[in-house]
Structure 1
């Protein structure tokens, strides 16, 4: 059995399919870890969700910000954005089944028997991996509860940016969603910044990428997506950035875990 990680798919199903063919992926014996943002902006979000769902326990998914936004749109909380190309998905006969499956997915995945984790945006410098897992599980319980509609509505907002100020259930939930699905930069005290999406070379000097804080031990690995401007470059040896902007015309990246070999598939954008 081989384990593969793939960065943000964002509805680019043809590139995902080509990558899986390239590595000889087996739907029944290999495992595919998907670093969130399965949908939106690309042309085939419906096909992407159907495929990932179809391989059942062989797919390990975390929710990204676009996935959560899709759920909010489906439940009538937000309006669909034309550029997200979600019309076919929302009108599909199996949309309800797909949305039920999607909302069941966690915010963090951990590989069995090793200290390897995956989330869409990373790990807050104010958390240990164990704290992050605990808060992610609580947030997932909210999202899958009978009050899921309420929690989907309440997840929007940028406060608090500091975990030390998350002093009630709602603020802890919102911080958890934002840190695990939206975070890129942090201030010196580890609080979240949402204003900058640039590469580190172009960022204001008061901001640091979340992975530059010394909060992940050398025997722990973290895999994330979300940040296309990095183009897969992260200086930390035990942190792996996998969003390489396929939906924007760059390429999709897949990581084979046992030997850390990288596979790429150039965007098919110009072929469509």
Structure 2
């Protein structure tokens, strides 16, 4: 068995399938870990979800911010206010609604392998979490809410830009604020302040920002960053490993912007990629 890790697919079905063929992926014996953001921006989000559902026993994925947005829409937002035709196509597809309600909304925000010392989330691991039990607990809390009976209330709060929580406050947050921080830390984070608080606006690569205060989350000390190999997506401007420490691997290489879709083989410690067409 070979374990592969792939960055944000963003609806680029043809490139995704071509890359799987390039590495000779065998869904009967190999395993594919996916950093989230399966849909949006690319032309074939429906095909991506159909295919992943068909091989669901062979994959481990985490939800990204775009996936969470789709889940929140499925749960009842009025689609008359949505102008994105790709999203509308997803919402109107009955099989997609079934896939989301029976499978996608139950997926975690963190994947973890203790034997291989691997952690994966969409955006990374916030420096304010320096204990593996806190990370797994936070992921489980959010997963239970997203798949639970009161999920729409929490997801509406998550999408409200007026209420964005950027400080874990030493594990004292409760309710909506706790859920909001977990979502921000695991699916939206890029930069942090020196004390680990999240900064939610800046997106450019470290060499392209003028702030001397903000640091990429992985540049702020955290003992877990040395104990685990951490895979993440979300931040295409990093272009893979240009800025990250050796054992922190960013896999969003900008497929949805006409750059590359990237896969990493755990056993071979080798990257594979394919150019994406937009």
Q: Of 139, 154, 170, which aligns to 2:157?
A: 154
The worse-fitting range, judged by mean Cα deviation, of 158-167 and 137-146 is: 158-167
Match status 1:198 vs 2:199: no
Q: In 1, Cα distance between the equivalents of 2:234 and 2:85?
A: 16
Conserved in 2, the CA contact under 8 Å of 1:41 and 1:83?
Answer: no
| CA distance 1:47–1:6, change in 2 (3 Å) | same
Counterpart secondary structure, 1:132: helix
Counterpart secondary structure, 1:218: helix
> 1:261: how far off?
0.4
CA deviation map 1:84-136 (0-9, x unaligned): 72233222231221111110110000125222010000001000232111111
CA deviation map 1:25-62 (0-9, x unaligned): 01111111010100001101011011111112211110
Match status 1:173 vs 2:179: yes
Conserved in 1, the CA contact under 8 Å of 2:39 and 2:45?
Answer: yes
The worse-fitting range, judged by mean Cα deviation, of 140-149 and 159-168 is: 159-168
Structure 2 length-normalised TM: 0.92
Structure 1 length-normalised TM: 0.94
Counterpart secondary structure, 2:111: strand
Conserved in 1, the CA contact under 8 Å of 2:253 and 2:259?
Answer: yes
CA deviation map 1:205-232 (0-9, x unaligned): 1100001112134231100000010010
Q: In 1, Cα distance between the equivalents of 2:229 and 2:250?
A: 11
Conserved in 2, the CA contact under 8 Å of 1:72 and 1:78?
Answer: no
Q: In 2, Cα distance between the equivalents of 1:84 and 1:65?
A: 18
Q: Which residue of 2 aligns with 1:143?
A: 146
Match status 1:115 vs 2:123: no
